[in-house]
């Protein structure tokens, strides 16, 4: 019996398609249902950023989550099993077109959902930064002088384009990974590896 945490949001649909193929039936969470039980497997419908938490504490044996989320949650210890090559995106530093971040300022302000990645990136360059935590619509921040720039995810690039922002630098490339709880990987190794093989065939 395996429990798998699937993320809501941008990776959700692609991961449901993968598991629908493996289990040969349509896998969908009805309306607001958060648990889906099949014969030998249970799926949990969790927020993207929470997938590592469910897996780390063993509430889920496996999870699917973006590498960007894993980097942001570096406090959490899970086994990275397989790059699924879905949900590809970049984490970038961005600013308003024609208004680049002024790195000569004693401190810069960066708005982001990804505070750890941001802090680590600028600390490694010895740039003093005030990290302003937002929960969404990050691209708005430089346009209304809340911040000098942003660190955010770019997938198609259309949100930045439509808001007159440019990519200054790419911090990392990301895609979705299959991850496992350390203990589950030991105790349920056979079923986890066989599921990993099934996923490998599809990617």
Residue written as token pair 């099993």: 81
Q: For residues 105 and 52, what is the distance between their CA atoms, to the nearest angstrom?
A: 36
Q: Which of 50, 96, 148, 152 binds ligand PRP (CB under 6 A)?
A: 152
Binding mask 103-142 for ligand PRP (x = CB under 6 A): ---------------------------------xxxx---
> Minimum distance from CB of 143 to ligand PRP (Å)?
13
Query: Three-class SS of residue 69?
Result: helix
Tell me which residue of 54, 64, 117 sits closest to 87, measured CA to CA. 64
CB nearer to ligand PRP: pick between 79 and 134? 134
88 vs 17, 91, 102, CA distance in Å?
A: 16, 10, 30
Contacts of 76 (CB under 8 A, 6+ apart): 52, 53, 55, 56, 70
Q: Which of 77, 130, 155, 197 binds ligand PRP (CB under 6 A)?
A: 155
Q: Are strands 89-96 and 165-174 parallel, antiparallel or unpaired?
A: antiparallel
Q: Does 157 bind ligand PRP (CB under 6 A)?
A: yes
> Minimum distance from CB of 127 to ligand PRP (Å)?
22
> Minimum distance from CB of 140 to ligand PRP (Å)?
9
Binding segment toward ligand PRP, per CB under 6 A, in 19-27, 33-41, 156-164, 191-199: 156-164
Q: Widest CA span of the chain, in angstroms?
A: 60
Q: Does 100 bind ligand PRP (CB under 6 A)?
A: no
Q: Does 154 bind ligand PRP (CB under 6 A)?
A: yes
Residues 158-197 that bind ligand PRP (CB under 6 A): 158-159
Our CA angle for 77, 79, 82, nearest 5°, is 140
Neighbours of 176 (CB within 10 A): 29
Binders of ligand PRP: how many residues, by CB under 6 A? 13
**Residues in the site for ligand PRP, rule: CB under 6 A?**
9, 136-139, 152-159
């Amino acid at each position: 019996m395996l429990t798998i945490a699937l993320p809501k949001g941008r990776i959700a649909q692609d991961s449901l398609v993968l598991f629908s193929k493996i289990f040969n039936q349509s896998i969908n969470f009805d309306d607001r249902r958060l648990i889906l039980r099949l014969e030998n497997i249970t799926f949990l419908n969790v927020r993207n950023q929470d997938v590592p938490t469910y897996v780390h504490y063993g509430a889920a044996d496996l999870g699917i989550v973006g590498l960007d989320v894993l980097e942001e949650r570096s406090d959490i210890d899970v086994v990275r099993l397989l790059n699924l090559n879905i949900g590809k995106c970049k984490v970038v530093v961005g600013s308003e077109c024609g208004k680049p971040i002024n790195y000569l300022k004693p401190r810069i302000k960066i708005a982001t959902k990804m505070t750890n990645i941001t802090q680590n990136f600028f600390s490694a360059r010895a740039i003093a930064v005030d990290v302003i935590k937002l929960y969404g619509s990050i691209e708005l921040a430089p346009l209304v002088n809340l911040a000098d720039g942003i660190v955010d995810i770019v997938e198609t690039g259309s949100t930045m384009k439509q808001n007159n922002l440019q990519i200054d630098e790419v911090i990392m490339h990301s895609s979705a990974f299959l991850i496992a709880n350390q203990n589950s990987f030991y105790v349920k190794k056979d079923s986890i590896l066989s599921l990993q093989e099934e996923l490998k065939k599809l990617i």
